[in-house]
Amino acid sequence: MPRDAPSVPIDFATEPGRYRHWRLECDGAIATLTLDVDPAGGLFPGTELKLNSYDLGVDIELADAVTRLRFEHPEVRAVVVRSGKEKVFCAGANIGALAKASHAHKVNFCKFTNETRLAIEDASAHSGQRYLAALGGTAAGGGYELALACDWIMLVDDRRSAVSLPELALLGVLPGTGGLTRLTDKRRVRRDRADVFCATEEGVRGRRALDWRLVDEVVPPSAWEAAVAGRAAALGATSDRPHPLPNPPPLAGEGRVGAGAQGINLPALERRIAGDAILYPHVRVALDRARRRATISVLGPPLVPADLAGIHAEGAAFWPLALAREVDDAILHLRFNEPGLGTIVFRSQGDPEAVLASDALLDAHAGDWLVRETRLFLKRVLKRIDVTSRSLFALIEPGSCFAGSLAELVFAADRALMFDGTRAGDNRGGATLALSPLNFGAYPMGNGISRLATRFLGEPDSLERAEARIGAALGAAEAEALGLVTASHDEIDWDDEIRLMLEERASFSPDALTGLEANLRFAGPETMETRIFGRLSAWQNWIFQRPNAVGDEGALKRYGTGQRPRFDPERV
C-alpha cells in the first residue's frame, strides 16, 4: 500500500465541469487544453502542486479530456496544449507526491501517464486530432515529456524558456513518461546530444533546442500568439476528421462527414461498489481478497442496433463502447486500489451471436467517425489490459460469449481454459469460442500486430486456419486444435483444474510473475510503445527500487530538503 496513501480510493471518473487543473475550450476545429494546476488540489495530503507540476489527479483529468475530445468533439481537428501560468509550461511530476508514494503507486502512476501520452499520439495517428504543444514557458521533466507526445512543439524564444529533463541531475531517476524513448526513437536526437541534454538540469533553449531537434519551432514572444494560431490551423488542415457543420455542407449518407459530425455525450459511468463486488451495467467485478484474485465478468450485448443510425442514436450506450468504458474503469480501479489481487479472471455471459452481430456493425461502418472512435477505444482498453501487471486468465464456459471483439480478452490472457462438453443440468449447451474479422487487425497490440498474429508468430499456418473459421461456433476440441485456447477440461476435471491453476499462480512471487508476463506477452516486433513499457519502464522500476533513489539518503528522499543525496557508487 502507498506509504502515505490518498485517503479514499482513486477514482478515474471525471468530466470537464469538475476539472480542477485543466480547462478545455473548443472553438470550431481548434480546441485548447490549458494546464493551470491548483496547487492545493493534490491527491496526496500535504503535497503542494507548484509550478504546474502534476500528480495522478491532474493526469486523470487530461486522460478524460483526450477521450472526450474524440467522442464529444468530432469537429475538433487540432488541440493546442498550453499553460495557464506565466513563464512556466509545466514542471513535470510533483516530486513531493512521488517521494511519498509507494513503489507500486509510482510504477502505476508512470504507466497511466504513459498510456495517456500514447492516447494523444493515437488520436493524431488514427483519429485525425493533431496535438500542438505551445510552450510559452519552461517545460521540465514530465512537462517536456507531455510536449514530446504532441505532433509539434513550439517554444517561445525569450532567452529564458527551456525544455529540460532534469530527472538524472535532480532526482537520481529517469524521465518516467517515455521521454528517453521519444528522444531517441520519435525525434531521433543524436545519442550524445541526448546524453548532454539529460545531464543539463537547466535544459536547452532557443536555437540549440531547435538544432538538436528537441523542439520543432522557436518563436519570439512578439509573434507568439499569431504563430500558435497559425500552426494549430496548419495542423488541423492535415486532419481527416469531419468538418464542423455547416461548412463544408454535409454529404448525404454515412461516412466521416455528415451524420457523424454531431458528437456524442459521455455520461458518468454507473458504478456501484458493494463490499467485494463492483457492479456496472455490463461488467461485474468480484473481489476475492483471501485468494488474491478478481473475476471480471462481462455481459454480452442486450440489443444490437439495426444500422449506423442506430449506433449514433445509442451513443455512449452502444454496447461495445459502454462495455469498453466499464472494463477500462474496472482495470484502473484494480491497478490502483487493489494491488494485492494478483490474478484477474475473465468470464463472460451472453449470446455469442449478438457479439458477432455487433462486430459486423463495427466492421461494416469502420469509416464512420463514431464507429472508428469506438474501435480505437476498444483497442486502447485492450492494450491497457496487455500491460496490466496481473496474471490474466480467461475461462470459456457454457453460457459465455467470447466471440469476436470479446474473444480478444481470451487472446490477451496468459492462459485460456475452455470447458469441454456440457454441465449436468445446464441447458445452455457447450461452451463456444468464435472469431470475427475484427480479431485479425482491428485491435493491434502495442507491438503493432494483432494478438492472434503475435500468438502464432511461429506458425503462420495457424493464423490462416483460424481465419478460415471466422463466424463458426467453435467447440472445445476444435478451439484447442486451432491453438486458440491453452487447454480444455471436461466437467469432471474443470473445477479442480481451475482451482489448482489459480492456487498455484497465487503461490508464485508476484514480482517474478510481473517480469515473466511483461516478457512473454510481447513477442515479435518492437515499437516505441513496447520500448516504453518493456525497456524504459523496467529500468525505471529498477531505479525506483534502489536505495540511491528511495533510501533515506537517496535522491528522491532528499529532494527539496537542502541536503545532497549520498550515493553508493557501485555500478550495477
Among 147, 294, 541, 559, contact with a second copy (rule: CB under 8 A)? 541
CB 105 within 8 A of CB 2: yes
Give yes or no for residue 499 binding a second copy (CB under 8 A).
no
- Other Cβ atoms less than 10 A from the Cβ of 227: the count is 17
Site for a second copy in 363-402 (CB under 8 A): 389-390
**Residue 561, burial from CB neighbour count under 10 angstroms (0-12, 13-18, 19+):** exposed
**Concatenated DSSP letters for 516-556?**
HHHHHTT-S---HHHHIIIIIHHHHHHHHHSHHHHSTTSHH
Give yes or no for residue 208 binding a second copy (CB under 8 A).
no
d(CA 190, CA 451): 34
Instruction: Kindly give, in sequence order, each residue whose CB lies less than 8 Å from that of residue 47, ignoring residues fewer than 6 positions away.
Output: 55, 94, 96, 97, 100
Give yes or no for residue 502 binding a second copy (CB under 8 A).
no
SS3 101: coil
Q: How far is the CB of 249 from a second copy (least distance, A)?
A: 43
CB 92 within 8 A of CB 45: no
d(CA 323, CA 318): 8
d(CA 480, CA 384): 26
SS3 499: helix
Among 486, 497, 498, 557, contact with a second copy (rule: CB under 8 A)? 486
Which residue in 167, 326, 480, 529 is the catalytic one?
167
Nearer to a second copy, 62 or 153 (CB): 153
Q: How far is the CB of 529 from a second copy (least distance, A)?
A: 12
Among 5, 26, 198, 434, contact with a second copy (rule: CB under 8 A)? 198
Nearer to a second copy, 400 or 537 (CB): 537
Q: How far is the CB of 453 from a second copy (least distance, A)?
A: 12
> Which range touches a second copy (CB under 8 A), out of 63-71, 132-140, 297-305, 336-344?
336-344
Q: How far is the CB of 408 from a second copy (least distance, A)?
A: 14
Give yes or no for residue 181 binding a second copy (CB under 8 A).
yes
167 part of the active site: yes
15 part of the active site: no
Site for a second copy in 47-86 (CB under 8 A): none
Give yes or no for residue 415 binding a second copy (CB under 8 A).
yes
Binding mask 286-325 for a second copy (x = CB under 8 A): ------x---------------------------------
Q: How far is the CB of 186 from a second copy (least distance, A)?
A: 10
Among 159, 188, 207, 499, contact with a second copy (rule: CB under 8 A)? 188
Give yes or no for residue 489 binding a second copy (CB under 8 A).
no
Give yes or no for residue 337 binding a second copy (CB under 8 A).
no
State which amino acid sits at residue 310: G
Angle at which helix 404-412 crosses helix 352-364, to 10 degrees, equals: 100
Binding mask 133-172 for a second copy (x = CB under 8 A): ----------------------------------xxx-xx
Q: How far is the CB of 451 from a second copy (least distance, A)?
A: 9
Distances 6 to 22, 57, 105, 339 between C-alpha atoms, Å: 21, 11, 11, 14
Phi, psi of 321 (to 5 degrees): -75, -45
Nearer to a second copy, 127 or 514 (CB): 514
Among 48, 545, 560, 563, contact with a second copy (rule: CB under 8 A)? 545
- In the chain, DSSP finds a helix count (H) and a strand count (E) of 22, 18
Cis peptide before 246 (omega within 30 of 0): yes
Site for a second copy in 214-273 (CB under 8 A): none
Among 353, 483, 493, 498, contact with a second copy (rule: CB under 8 A)? 483
Site for a second copy in 459-478 (CB under 8 A): 459
Pairing of strands 272-274, 162-164: unpaired
Nearer to a second copy, 220 or 460 (CB): 460
**CA-based end-to-end distance of the chain:** 28
CA 487 to chain centre: 30
Number of residues that bind a second copy (CB under 8 A): 94
Give yes or no for residue 520 binding a second copy (CB under 8 A).
yes
**Residues annotated as part of the active site:** 145, 167
